């Protein structure tokens, strides 16, 4: 089984978000970039398939050279090869078109992406990729088993979960549950040394144009002050929620 894990390179969850160039660009100053958390769960599940079922695992990112340390980290965790499509990831449609070319060239059986990235939160790329390739697609995937060409996936739904049977080629939009938090791996010294020697292929982008572009960012308006209520007088809170906020 050949697995491709799609990795988006995102600001660490503790990052303060700021913009430059008249609020048109994300300010990377002082920001640490990491593997998108949803993708890290997927990568860790892929490592399980590698160790238990002899799968080959490749990772891919559509981005400029600044995302290479993130790909190297994925190699240090245990992926066999990395691919970077050299382009600015402007919008989900464009990224999905680039990934579709990578999948067609590489002949992958299973493609694991994240439910959403924590930068643009579009949750667009995995579904678009599936529709472009006409492959089976399971979103918000919290469990995945593969046996030959059949697969069983668990999907989180509002208020519960659903078990699905399907077949490869398959694309999943994964999240926590594919593996648990405690299964995540921190690369060790040996992994980091080996990652330096593993292939990281840089591919040119295909000719598709951006379908969308951000014209400007805004930050939320500063919040008003909090109204404090005396713990001895919780009735006042109910009164405020009913008469002032009008939410109960």
Partner 1 sequence: MSVLVYAESDSGSFKKIAFEVVSYAKGIADAMGTSVTAVTVNANDPSELGTYGASKVLAVSNDAMSDFNANGYANAIATAAKNEGASVVVLPSSANGKYLAPLVAVKLEAAMAANVVALPESTSPFVVKSTVYTNKAFANTQLNTANKVLGLSKNAYGLHESSTTAQVEALEAQASDGITVASVDKATDKVTIADAEIVVSGGRGLKGPENWGMIEELAEVLGAATACSKPVSDMGWRPHSEHVGQTGKPVASTLYIAIGISGAIQHLAGINSSKVKVVINTDPEAPFFKAADYGIVGDAFDVVPKLIEKLKEFKVNNA
Ligand X SMILES: Cc1cc2nc3c(=O)[nH]c(=O)nc-3n(C[C@H](O)[C@H](O)[C@H](O)COP(=O)(O)OP(=O)(O)OC[C@H]3O[C@@H](n4cnc5c(N)ncnc54)[C@H](O)[C@@H]3O)c2cc1C
Candidate segments 15-23, 89-97, 181-189, 227-235, binder of ligand AMP by CB under 6 A: 89-97
Q: What angle do CA 140, 143, 144 make, to 5 degrees?
A: 110
Q: Residue 152 has which token pair?
A: 């069983």
Q: Which of residues 15-54 bind ligand X (CB under 6 A)?
A: 37
Q: Which of residues 95-134 bind ligand X (CB under 6 A)?
A: none
Strand partners, 9: 35
Candidate segments 48-56, 123-131, 147-155, 191-199, binder of ligand AMP by CB under 6 A: 123-131
Using CB under 6 A, count the residues that bind ligand AMP. Answer: 24
- Contacts within 8 Å (CB) and 24+ apart, 74-78: 74/5, 74/7, 74/35, 74/43, 75/194, 75/195, 75/198, 75/200, 76/187, 76/191, 76/192, 76/194, 76/195, 77/43, 77/44, 77/47, 77/185, 77/187, 77/191, 78/47, 78/50, 78/185, 78/191
Please provide residue 238's backbone torsions phi and psi, each rounded to the nearest 5 degrees: -65, -40
Q: Which does 8 bind (CB under 5 to 8 A by kind): partner 1, ligand AMP, ligand X, none?
A: ligand AMP
44 lies in the site for ligand AMP, by CB under 6 A: no
DSSP state of 169: S
Q: Which does 106 bind (CB under 5 to 8 A by kind): ligand X, ligand AMP, partner 1, none?
A: none
Q: Which of residues 160-179 bind partner 1 (CB under 8 A)?
A: 160-167, 176-177
Pick between residue 136 and residue 237 the one whose CB is nearest to ligand AMP: 136
Residue nearest to ligand X (CB): 13
| Local structure of 80: helix, strand or coil | coil
State how far the Cα of 116 lies from the Cα of 96, in Å rounded to an integer: 13
Please provide residue 71's backbone torsions phi and psi, each rounded to the nearest 5 degrees: -65, -40
Pick between residue 57 and residue 168 the one whose CB is nearest to partner 1: 168
The least CB distance from residue 94 to ligand X, in Å, is 27
The least CB distance from residue 129 to partner 1, in Å, is 8
The least CB distance from residue 117 to partner 1, in Å, is 10
Q: Which of residues 123-162 bind partner 1 (CB under 8 A)?
A: 123-128, 130-132, 136-140, 142, 152, 156-162
Pairing of strands 110-114, 2-6: parallel
Using CB under 6 A, list all residues that contact ligand AMP.
6-8, 36, 38-39, 60-63, 89, 92, 95, 113-114, 116-117, 120-126
Point out which residues bind ligand X (CB under 6 A).
13, 37
């Amino acid at each position: 089984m050949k697995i491709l894990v799609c990795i988006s390179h995102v600001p660490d969850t503790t990052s303060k978000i700021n913009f430059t160039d008249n609020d048109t660009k994300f300010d990377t100053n002082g920001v640490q970039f990491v593997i998108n958390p949803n993708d890290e769960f997927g990568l860790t599940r892929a490592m399980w398939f590698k160790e238990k079922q002899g799968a080959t695992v490749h990772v891919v990112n559509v981005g400029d050279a600044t995302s290479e340390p993130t790909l190297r980290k994925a190699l240090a965790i245990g992926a066999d090869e990395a691919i970077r499509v050299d382009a600015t990831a402007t919008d989900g449609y464009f990224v999905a078109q680039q990934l579709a070319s990578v999948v067609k060239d590489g002949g992958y059986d299973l493609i694991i992406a994240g439910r959403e990235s924590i930068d643009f939160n579009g949750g667009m790329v995995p579904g678009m990729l599936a529709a472009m390739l006409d492959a089976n697609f399971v979103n918000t995937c919290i469990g995945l088993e593969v046996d030959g060409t059949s697969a069983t996936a668990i999907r989180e739904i509002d208020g519960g979960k659903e078990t699905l049977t399907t077949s490869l080629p398959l694309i999943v939009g994964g999240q926590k549950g594919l593996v648990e938090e405690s299964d995540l791996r921190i690369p060790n010294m040996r992994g980091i040394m080996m990652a330096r020697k593993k292939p990281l292929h840089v591919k040119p982008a295909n000719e598709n144009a951006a379908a969308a572009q951000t014209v400007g960012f805004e930050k939320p308006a500063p919040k008003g002050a909090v109204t404090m209520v005396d713990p001895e007088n919780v009735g006042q809170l109910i009164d405020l929620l009913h008469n002032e906020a009008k939410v109960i």
